[in-house]
């Protein structure tokens, strides 16, 4: 049976460490603050945003929310971002995705000042990650790396396979693993012979968005399996991209859903806010 990578525990420890850093900053009259922009009324986004605000509250990080109407124009959105860029009391700016289809989210991410881009989506920060420079790393891949580190899981020289090539998870995940000297393959919906590739993975990361996509026959015995997916099964219960019950029997380490990568994502956002405030 695989060892469970307990993201909830590691996230708690990470937050506790950050608490003292926030207190130190406050002694220097720096009051870390996150501004969150949400456009429209997406149900899942509301839950994510609530989790982020709760984490800020626990750490003593100030939090301001901007709930924009779903008919907000691109110009109004960019104007708000520019105002927040200018504000000295705001250290981190987060634009919750998705946004309504008429808005250009990439332009919005580009407009967030790289110094306040705690989600790591501004192309400047993405570029720095590619170049292996210090930057804000997208919170989910950053959280996966922290989890691997906490469990002393070696990445150097290992075969890592990432399924999914999104800008927010798959691509930065590839870079993070590469920067830590793994040999990385990235797969997507056009990949041929997926199973043959995943079977060679020492570290397999699933970021697809399809419940129970990764089955036992796709996993090398002893592999480390990281499940980024957040889906709902037929009963409406939250589940990952990995068929946990099956894969737990072949993997050496595995993340549960919920309680694996999800809490780490929020913890790393807090880490990025503290870094921005510093």
Do 178 and 184 meet the contact criterion of CB atoms below 8 Å apart? Answer: yes
Q: Could you say whether residue 120 binds ligand NDP (CB under 6 A)?
A: no
Minimal distance, residue 198 CB to ligand NDP, in Å: 10
In angstroms, the CA 242 to CA 184 distance is: 19
Q: Which is nearer to ligand NDP, 152 or 189 (CB)?
A: 189
Q: Among residues 152, 189, 193, 245, which is the contact residue for ligand NDP, using CB under 6 A?
A: 189
Under rule CB under 6 A, residue 102 binds ligand NDP: no
247 binds ligand NDP, rule: CB under 6 A: no
In the chain the beta strands, taken as DSSP E runs, fall at: 3-4, 33-39, 62-68, 92-95, 159-163, 183-187, 203-206, 224-227, 231-232, 238-239, 253-254
* By the rule CB under 6 A, 25 interacts with ligand NDP: no
Residue 48: half-sphere exposure toward Cβ, Cα within 13 Å: 21
Work out whether 185 is an interface residue with ligand NDP (CB under 6 A).
no
| Nearest distance from C-beta of residue 222 to ligand NDP, angstroms | 23
212: left (phi over 0), alpha (psi -120 to 50) or beta: left
> Is 195 considered catalytic here?
no
d(CA 164, CA 226): 12
DSSP 8-class letter at 245: H
CA-based nearest residue to 207, from 130, 150, 144 = 144
Q: Using the rule CB under 6 A, is 262 a contact of ligand NDP? A: yes
When asked if residue 105 is in the footprint of ligand NDP (CB under 6 A), the reply is no
Provide the greatest CA pair distance for the chain. Answer: 56
- Report the residue from 32, 92, 120, 170 that binds ligand NDP according to the rule CB under 6 A: 170
Closest CA to 227 of 191, 245, 108: 245
Nearer to ligand NDP, 82 or 215 (CB): 215
Residue of 119, 202, 241, 243 marked active site = 119
The correct pick among 39, 84, 129, 169 for binding ligand NDP (CB under 6 A) is 169
| Residue among 95, 153, 203, 228 that touches ligand NDP (CB under 6 A) | 228
State yes or no: is 42 an active-site residue. Answer: no
> Where do contacts with ligand NDP occur on this chain (CB under 6 A)?
140, 163-166, 168-170, 187-191, 194, 207-210, 228-231, 261-262, 265
**Residues marked as catalytic:** 52, 96, 119
């Amino acid at each position: 049976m695989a060892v469970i990578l307990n993201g909830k525990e590691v996230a708690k420890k990470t937050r506790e460490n950050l608490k003292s850093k926030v207190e130190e900053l406050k002694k220097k009259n720096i009051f870390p603050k996150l501004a969150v922009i949400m456009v429209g009324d997406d149900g899942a986004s509301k839950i994510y945003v609530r989790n982020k605000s709760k984490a800020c509250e626990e750490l003593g990080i100030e939090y301001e929310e901007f709930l924009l109407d779903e008919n907000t124009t691109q110009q109004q959105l960019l104007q708000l971002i520019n105002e927040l860029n200018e504000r000295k009391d705001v250290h981190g700016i987060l634009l919750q995705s998705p946004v309504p289809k008429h808005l250009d989210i990439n332009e919005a991410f580009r407009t967030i000042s790289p110094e306040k881009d705690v989600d790591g989506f501004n192309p400047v920060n993405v570029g720095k990650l590619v170049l292996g420079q210090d930057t804000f790393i997208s919170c989910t891949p950053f959280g996966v790396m922290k989890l691997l580190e906490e469990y002393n899981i070696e990445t150097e020289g290992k075969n890592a396979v990432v399924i999914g090539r999104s800008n927010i998870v798959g691509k930065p995940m590839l870079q993070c693993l590469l920067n830590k000297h793994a040999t990385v393959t990235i797969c997507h919906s056009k990949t041929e012979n997926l199973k043959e590739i995943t079977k060679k993975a020492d570290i397999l990361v699933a970021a697809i968005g399809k419940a129970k996509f990764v089955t036992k026959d796709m996993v090398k015995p002893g592999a480390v399996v990281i499940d980024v997916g957040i889906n709902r099964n037929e009963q409406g219960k939250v589940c990952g991209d990995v068929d946990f019950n099956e894969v737990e029997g072949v993997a050496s380490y595995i993340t549960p859903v919920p309680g694996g990568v999800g809490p780490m994502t929020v913890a790393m956002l807090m880490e990025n806010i503290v870094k921005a405030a510093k």
